[in-house]
């Protein structure tokens, strides 16, 4: 017949194994969420420093609403991640409360069994009783078995005592863990409450600015379209520059100029392979910065009827910031289109990177550059904005730079 205590112990052991597995997975998830939360908090600090620190500088309404719109989106993301952390802690707290309940039941049963054992042991503890128990054996084999029984009983009694001690310690540890989890949750809730207040304040500012913008929506739409046409014109110039460089490389190699890819030397092939192997690990083209606009076709963040085609990413940085080469290469050109700041284009095998909105270029065509080398100062406009536009190309075709630079 199966002992009921053994069944209970097996159930509790199974419960601990399940809880342990879940706990490991939750700890991993918790670490990921906390890391993401810290990244967002750092991004908010950078946004405040780079976009909102100079309150005396008058921004255009469109620039102000773009900056605020970006900050609001990041703040919402922070609240979302913090909510996920709080929900995860709630599940952990519930799991630990269930574990504590099971431990208490198990400990109670152990103590009752141990108490009964102690009483029974007390009644038969005298040496005379033990001797009589042994002497009343009918043969030597029975006496031996009775002696073994006495030893095993004493050993089991000791084991029960140790198990009670271990369960008590475990219970205390789980209780302490539960208290810490509750404090962590309270802290997260308090931080989220503050974040929501900040969000509410920012949304009110956002709405006030939008009211003003709606009155002149057609004017702003026209401005955006004009800027977009200018951006497309510049992008085409960069693409033509890279295509001409490809054609020239093929002509020198005795190949057709219309191959659609660079004809590379062994040195350039090795450089391109190294560039590829560093995908997702390339340094940012500025030391400090936040991404204000992503890659690809997208609606304007403020005037939703207007569409933006972005061949790269726009990074807001601090005044006087230096643009840096993201990898070893050769300067393909320092372009100086009419009416806009210079553009530096660097070749890395069959890859190219473009750095737009440079006020002072520190390099010239043909220069060899290394990773993180300063190649120019980023231009600051009349609104106090210091924006670097950064693009990545492979054989003249645009790539999403976010896949190439390291995540911050």
Instruction: List, in order of start, the domains of the chain with CATH numbers.
Output: 4-215 (no CATH), 218-403 (2.70.70.10)
Higher pLDDT, 302 or 313: 313
Q: What DSSP character marks residue 159?
A: H
Higher pLDDT, 254 or 379: 379
Q: How many CB atoms lie within 10 A of CB 220?
A: 20
CA end-to-end span of the chain, whole Å?
Answer: 62
Confidence of residue 1 (pLDDT cuts 50, 70, 90): very low
| 389 neighbors 285 (Cβ within 8 angstroms) | no
User: What average pLDDT does the segment 111-119 reach?
Assistant: 64
Alpha helices in 124-139 (DSSP H): 127-135
Structure confidence at residue 7 (pLDDT) = 57
Beta bridge partners of 298: 308
User: What average pLDDT does the segment 219-235 reach?
Assistant: 84
| 181 neighbors 78 (Cβ within 8 angstroms) | no
Higher pLDDT, 154 or 72: 72
Structure confidence at residue 128 (pLDDT) = 47
Q: Report the DSSP pairing between strands 322-324 and 397-399.
A: unpaired
User: What average pLDDT does the segment 143-169 reach?
Assistant: 63
Q: How many CB atoms lie within 10 A of CB 318?
A: 16
Structure confidence at residue 329 (pLDDT) = 96
User: What average pLDDT does the segment 142-146 reach?
Assistant: 60
| 382 neighbors 304 (Cβ within 8 angstroms) | no
Structure confidence at residue 132 (pLDDT) = 55
Confidence of residue 369 (pLDDT cuts 50, 70, 90): very high
| 164 neighbors 111 (Cβ within 8 angstroms) | yes
Arithmetic mean of pLDDT over the chain: 81
Higher pLDDT, 54 or 122: 54
| 316 neighbors 379 (Cβ within 8 angstroms) | no
Residues 6+ apart with CB under 8 A from 268: 262, 349, 350
Give residue-wise pLDDT tens across range 270-296. Answer: 999 999 999 999 999 999 999 888 898
């Amino acid at each position: 017949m199966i002992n009921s205590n053994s069944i209970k112990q097996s159930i509790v052991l199974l419960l601990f194994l399940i809880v342990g597995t879940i706990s490991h997975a939750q700890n991993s998830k918790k670490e990921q969420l906390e890391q993401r939360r810290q990244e967002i908090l750092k991004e908010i600090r950078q946004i405040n420093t780079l976009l909102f620190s100079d309150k005396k500088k008058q921004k255009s309404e469109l620039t102000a609403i773009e900056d605020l719109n970006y900050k609001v989106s990041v703040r919402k993301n922070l609240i979302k991640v913090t909510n996920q952390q709080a929900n995860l802690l709630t599940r952990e707290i519930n799991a630990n409360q269930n574990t504590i309940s099971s431990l208490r039941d198990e400990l109670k049963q152990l103590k009752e069994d141990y108490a009964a054992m102690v009483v029974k042991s007390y009644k038969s503890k005298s040496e005379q009783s033990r001797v009589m128990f042994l002497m009343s054996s009918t043969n030597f084999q029975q006496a031996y078995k009775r002696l073994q029984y006495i030893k095993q009983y004493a050993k089991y009694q000791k084991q029960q005592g140790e198990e009670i001690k271990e369960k008590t310690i475990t219970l205390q540890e789980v209780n302490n863990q539960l208290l810490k989890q509750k404090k962590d949750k309270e802290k997260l809730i308090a931080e989220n409450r503050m974040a929501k207040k900040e969000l509410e304040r920012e949304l009110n500012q956002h709405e006030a600015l939008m009211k003003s913008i709606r009155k002149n929506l057609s004017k702003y739409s026209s401005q955006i379209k004009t800027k977009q046409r200018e951006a497309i014109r510049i992008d085409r110039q960069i693409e033509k520059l890279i295509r001409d460089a490809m054609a020239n490389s093929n002509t020198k190699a005795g190949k057709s100029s219309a191959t659609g890819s660079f004809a590379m030397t062994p040195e350039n092939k090795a450089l391109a392979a190294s560039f590829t192997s560093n995908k997702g690990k390339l340094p940012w083209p500025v030391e400090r910065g936040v991404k204000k606009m992503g890659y690809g076709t997208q609606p304007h963040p403020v005037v939703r009827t207007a569409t933006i085609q972005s061949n790269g990413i726009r990074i807001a940085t601090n005044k006087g910031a230096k643009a840096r080469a993201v990898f070893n290469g050769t300067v393909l050109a320092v372009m100086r289109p009419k009416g806009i700041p210079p553009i530096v284009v660097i070749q890395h095998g069959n890859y190219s990177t473009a750095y737009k909105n440079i006020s002072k270029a520190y390099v010239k065509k043909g220069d060899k550059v290394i990773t993180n080398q300063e190649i120019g100062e980023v231009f600051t406009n009349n609104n106090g904005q210091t924006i670097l536009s950064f693009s990545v190309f492979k054989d003249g075709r645009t790539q999403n730079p976010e896949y190439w630079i390291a995540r911050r």
